[in-house]
Structure formats: structure tokens, C-alpha cells
């Protein structure tokens, strides 16, 4: 349900991408924007602690609109403070993993959050235990007018809600049902020892995830083949464990769905997002229809690289040899502002605020978290963590995370706290919309054939990685869930066979399916969060439609619709929110549209490649 019930929820310059030391603080967070000092943090901490018994006092009394409204008001006040407390400790830790204050505050707020969760655990079960007639009256009542969509969601859950005793039993069993992912994490991250390979210069390199990704782009085919084979061989030791944990996880998903009276694990996962099954079905079917365009792209890679067949270790090596010069961060800011101008003056004003008010922590530093994300609280501005290195990917990542940040800014200005979250189904729309705009802008600004070719391939790879690949993963999920639901098991051999078959189907006749590629399934932790990955594909398709409409609409209506979508938060189901933005995800049209664009990009690549010096790999 909603977050408040869960509690917590241009020109490429030749300069370095990093600023001088005197200007570095302009690219670091100012966490004092959340709390000026630990004293203020402790004040909110005590306020939350004092509110817990008051919240617990409502248990057993949720039978009239006024009482429920009072509870909701107190719960919101408490959750908002708890959210800020957690954010402060989290950010301090991520900019310095050895910050002792962050560790201490983090431990305190984690314990407080657990107490809060325990004290408020009664709310949803108690409301769901009310008769349907009572819920309908509460939904229409004046004191709860601001929560009408919440009660609509609650009523949709009711047919899948068990008796109080059964719900308590299921809650106690939940940790055990989710233990498969824990075991997988220990095997894949704790016990797993990455292999090493020798580079052409004789240096031995350990194949961490980052190093492995870099090695698959190495121009020496013998080297990337050696890296691929070493990595594939290293997974052999854990494939039986991974198969057992995935089998246990899928069994738990299907058991949970059955107990809650859903026809399948897929149906349960879609219902949690208010997404009809036809959306998933259209996604798979439309992508299947457009596989010939992906086959053609693989064939173009084969020709460009001068290969007999394209192996898995040939899918990522750049087709353009020379790397781009580093993009200084100030240039990146200018590019982003210019590229996002189609979204209007107010949007750009907020982007300027992000840079001016230090919403971004931009550069890598010792002891800083190595990933990238956008986060924040309802009562703070967004906070974006980056590890900017001057690459094109870094620029696109900055634009991507700013899309998330702007989504929060617009939503928080328009929605009450309980509707300020974003469904995963809609959250990635705002971020990928920014990427579409940036790629289009950069392509139009490119001065040389090589720059245009590089940006053309970037667009192709975005669709391949975010849509085709995620849909293939989704097909695999559906296959293994169907197999388990029908009483079958999942052995490593069976999983390898399914995965390799999908690779052959998706990449076509120019692709050589090496036996080592069959273990790709065990590298995907998202499979332990059932039917999650399809949402990356639907989001990309939705954002492509929105951006295409914005670029061709001279009336300004498309931008207006998109801004309204950004303001909507979680105030309605994601399908209706996107329909108001001009995208009908119950139709195959958005998928057809973006995959039609992919085919056009591949056509353009075919036209441009003959003018390049084609490589010959050995």
C-alpha cells in the first residue's frame, strides 16, 4: 500500500571532468538541509518515540470515519519525521561509510522504525476486517475524502485478505518464505570468488562485476573471450545452489498467490501494482513480433566486427573505436539544461535549483557509496548521488536521476503525503524520458559522423538493454513460474536449457549460443522479486511515446499532460495515470511504437556503417 502505512519507505571541452578543489563543495550534498545539527535530529527522534503509544492506542477502535481520520493524521506526522530521520543517517553513511555518527544514528533510527512498524501493524488488517459495506461508506465519508483512492485500493485487496488468524500466521511465515533470496545473496556475493584473467600486458585482473563489464568491451577478442569463459566457468560451482534457491523462491511466490486466491504468481504481482494482465501479455507478444529487427542488429554487429558469428562476448564491444573526450561537469550541466528545454521553463528552473542548491553529490571519493540513485523525503528536496567520470554514460545518468528528482518535486508540490510515492511502473517513466530527450538533443548537435554513429548506437543499445533484454528475462520468469505452478521442479540443467533457448530466439541466426552463456539466469537477483523486470520495458515504451508526442506537438498540450502526470504521484492506478499522459499501456501501441523506432535506428546504422572502417576481430 502507500508509503505512509509502511513507514519508510554543446561542445566537449578538453578540460578534466572534475572541478578545482575550491569549487568541490558545490558538487557535494549539504545534509544540513535536512537537519542543521544532531540536536534537531534528536528532537524529531524523541517526537516519534513519544507518538508510538498514541498510535498504538487506536488499536481496536477503527470503526468510524472521524477516529480513522485522527489516526491517519497522527500516523502521517510520525511517518514524515521518521522518513527524515532515516534519510539523514542514510546520506551521511553513503558519503562516508566510516562516519561513526552516521552508523550510530542509523542504528537508532533502524530500531525506532522497527518499533513504529510493530505499533502500526494493526492498521491495515483492522481496516480490511471491516465489512465491505463499511469500507464503502468510509470511502465516501467527508472526514476521509482525501483518502478515497486509498480506500479503493483497500477494497480491491479485500477478496484476497484472509482471516485475522491466517494473516498472523502468514506474517510469521513470511521471513522463512523469503529466505531463499538470503541464501542466494550469500552464495552469489559472499561465498562466490570471482575468477582472474591475464591481460595482454601480462597483468592479472580479478573479474569483479565492474571489471568484467569493462573487459567485455575490450577490442582484443581473445581477451574478452577469455574473460567470458572464465566468468562462465566460475558460476559452475554455484549453479546447483542457485537453482535450488530460485526454485524455493518461485515455490514461495506461487504458494503465496494460491493462499491469497490469485490464479498465479504473475497475477498476484500484477495486482500489487494495479496492472492488468493484458499489459504483460501485449509486452511479450509485441516484442516477439519485433525480434527480426534485433536479429538484424546482431547481423550488423557481425559484419562490422568481421566475425563468422556473434558470441555473447561480442555483444558489448564498441563498434566505434575512438573513445570520447571527457565531458567536464559544467559542460554536462549545460548539455542537460539545453536538452531538457522541451519540458518547459518551470522544469528547467527546478533543474537549475538542483545544481545551485547542492541536490547532487557528483564525484567519486574514498569511502563514498559507489552506485548512483535519487532519494529524498516529502519534507526535503531530492538528493542525487552520482560517481561522475566524464563519460557520456555519466551525463545520461545525471539526466536520468534528475528525472526522478523532478518527478518528486512536482508530485510533492501537488499531492498529500499519502499519495507522494511512485509505483515502480511509473517511476522509471520520468527518468527515461530525460534520457530520450538527451539522446535526441546530443545526436542533433553531433558535428562528426563518428559522434553521430556513437550516439545512434547508444540509442539502439538503450532499447536492446532496457526492453528486449528485460522482456527476455520476463519470458524466463513466466516459464519457470508456470513450470512450478504445474508441479514441476527447477534443476540447473532445466534452467540452463530454458535460458539458452531464449538467447537463441532473441538474438537470431547470427548469434552463437555458447554453453557458458546458459548460466546467465543465476546473475539476475531481480528474479527473487517476482515479475519486477518487465516494468523497465513498459516504462521505456511509455516514456518514448510521451517524448515523441512532446517533440511533435506544437500546441503545448503534450507537455501539459506530462506535467500533470508528474504531479499525480500515486493518487490513482498507474494505468490511468499514464492514460492521462497520452499513453495507453493496455494497448500494444506503445511497445510497437518504440520497437518500430528501434527498427528505424537499425536501418540508419546500416546506412552509416559502410562509411566506417569496419573492424576485423581475431
Residues marked as catalytic: 401
In Å, what is the CA distance from 596 to each residue of 39, 121, 460, 534? Answer: 57, 48, 12, 19
Q: Which residues pair with 375 in a beta bridge?
A: 383
Q: Give whole-number Cα distances, 508 to 296, 311, 362, 511, in Å.
A: 8, 11, 40, 6
Cα 514 to Cα 503: distance, rounded to the nearest angstrom: 10
Cα(first)–Cα(last) distance of the chain, in Å? 55
Helix count and strand count (H, E) for the chain: 26, 5
The three cell numbers locating residue 247: 526454485
CB contact set of 448 (below 8 Å; sequence gap of 6+): none
- Cell matching residue 384: 542525487
The backbone torsions φ and ψ at residue 297, rounded to the nearest 5 degrees and listed phi first, read -65, -40
The grid coordinates listed for 126 are 483492522
Output the CA angle 511-311-281, nearest 5 degrees.
Answer: 50
CA distance 409 to 280: 30
Buried b / exposed e across 540-549, counting CB within 10 Å, b at 16+? bbbbbbbbbb
- Of 335, 333, 306, residue with least CA distance to 319: 306
Amino acid at each position: 500500500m502507500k508509503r505512509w502505512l509502511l513507514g519508510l519507505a554543446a561542445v566537449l571541452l578538453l578540460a578534466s571532468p572534475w572541478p578545482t578543489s575550491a569549487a568541490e563543495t558545490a558538487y557535494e550534498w549539504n545534509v544540513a538541509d535536512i537537519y542543521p545539527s544532531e540536536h534537531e535530529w534528536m528532537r524529531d527522534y524523541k517526537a516519534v518515540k513519544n507518538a508510538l503509544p498514541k498510535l498504538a492506542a487506536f488499536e481496536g477502535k477503527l470503526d468510524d470515519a472521524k477516529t480513522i481520520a485522527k489516526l491517519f493524521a497522527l500516523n502521517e506526522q510520525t511517518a514524515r519525521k521518521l522518513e527524515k530521520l532515516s534519510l539523514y543517517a542514510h546520506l551521511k553513511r553513503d558519503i562516508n561509510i566510516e562516519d561513526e555518527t552516521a552508523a550510530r544514528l542509523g542504528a537508532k533510527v533502524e530500531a525506532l522504525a522497527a518499533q513504529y512498524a510493530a505499533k502500526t501493524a494493526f492498521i491495515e488488517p483492522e481496516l480490511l476486517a471491516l465489512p465491505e459495506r463499511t469500507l464503502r461508506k468510509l470511502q465516501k465519508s467527508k472526514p476521509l475524502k482525501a483518502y478515497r483512492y486509498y480506500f479503493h485500493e483497500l477494497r480491491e485487496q479485500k477478496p484476497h485478505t484472509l482471516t485475522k488468524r491466517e494473516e498472523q500466521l502468514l506474517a510469521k511465515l513470511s521471513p522463512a518464505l523469503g529466505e531463499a533470496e538470503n541464501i542466494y545473496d550469500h552464495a552469489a556475493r559472499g561465498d562466490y570468488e570471482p575468477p582472474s584473467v591475464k591481460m595482454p600486458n601480462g597483468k592479472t585482473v580479478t573479474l569483479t562485476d565492474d571489471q568484467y563489464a569493462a573487459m567485455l568491451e575490450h577490442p582484443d577478442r581473445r581477451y574478452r573471450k577469455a574473460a567470458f569463459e572464465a566468468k562462465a566457468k566460475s558460476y559452475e560451482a554455484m549453479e546447483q545452489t542457485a537453482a535450488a534457491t530460485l526454485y524455493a523462491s518461485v515455490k514461495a511466490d506461487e504458494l503465496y498467490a494460491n493462499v491469497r486466491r490469485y490464479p498465479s504468481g504473475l497475477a498476484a504481482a500484477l495486482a500489487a501494482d494495479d496492472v492488468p494482465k493484458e499489459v504483460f501479455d501485449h509486452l511479450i507478444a509485441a516484442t516477439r513480433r519485433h525480434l527480426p529487427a534485433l536479429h538484424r542488429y546482431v547481423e550488423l554487429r557481425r559484419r562490422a566486427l568481421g566475425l563468422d558469428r556473434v558470441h555473447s562476448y561480442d555483444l558489448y564491444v564498441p563498434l566505434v573505436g575512438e573513445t570520447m573526450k571527457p565531458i567536464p561537469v559544467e559542460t554536462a550541466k549545460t548539455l542537460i539544461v539545453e536538452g531538457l528545454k522541451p519540458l518547459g521553463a518551470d522544469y528547467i528552473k527546478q533543474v537549475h535549483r538542483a545544481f545551485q542548491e547542492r541536490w547532487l553529490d557528483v564525484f567519486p571519493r574514498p569511502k563514498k557509496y559507489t552506485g548512483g540513485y535519487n532519494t529524498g523525503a516529502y519534507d526535503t528536496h531530492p538528493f542525487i548521488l552520482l560517481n561522475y567520470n566524464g563519460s557520456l554514460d555519466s551525463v545520461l545518468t545525471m539526466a536520468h536521476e534528475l528525472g526522478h528528482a523532478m518527478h518528486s518535486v512536482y508530485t510533492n508540490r501537488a499531492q498529500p503525503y499519502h499519495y507522494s510515492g511512485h509505483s515502480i511502473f511509473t517511476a522509471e517513466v520520468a527518468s527515461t524520458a530525460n534520457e530520450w530527450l538527451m539522446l535526441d538533443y546530443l545526436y542533433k548537435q553531433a558535428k562528426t559522423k563518428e559522434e553521430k554513429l556513437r550516439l545512434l548506437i547508444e540509442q539502439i543499445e538503450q532499447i536492446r538493454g532496457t526492453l528486449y533484454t528485460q522482456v527476455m528475462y520476463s519470458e524466463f520468469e513466466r516459464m519457470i513460474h508456470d513450470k512450478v505452478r504445474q508441479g514441476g521442479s527447477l534443476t540447473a540443467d532445466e534452467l540452463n536449457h530454458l535460458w539458452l533457448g531464449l538467447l537463441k530466439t532473441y538474438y537470431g541466426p547470427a548469434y552463437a549460443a555458447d554453453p557458458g552463456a546458459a548460466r546467465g539466469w543465476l546473475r539476475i537477483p531481480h528474479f527473487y522479486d517476482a515479475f519486477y523486470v518487465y516494468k523497465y520495458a513498459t516504462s521505456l515504451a511509455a516514456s518514448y511515446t510521451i517524448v515523441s508526442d512532446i517533440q511533435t506537438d506544437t500546441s503545448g498540450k503534450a507537455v501539459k499532460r506530462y506535467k500533470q502526470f508528474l504531479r499525480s504521484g500515486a493518487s490513482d492506478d498507474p494505468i490511468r495515470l499514464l492514460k492521462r499522459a497520452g499513453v495507453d499501456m493496455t494497448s500494444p501501441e506503445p511497445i510497437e511504437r518504440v520497437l518500430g523506432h528501434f527498427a528505424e535506428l537499425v536501418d540508419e546504422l546500416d546506412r552509416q556503417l559502410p562509411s566506417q572502417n569496419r573492424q576485423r576481430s581475431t
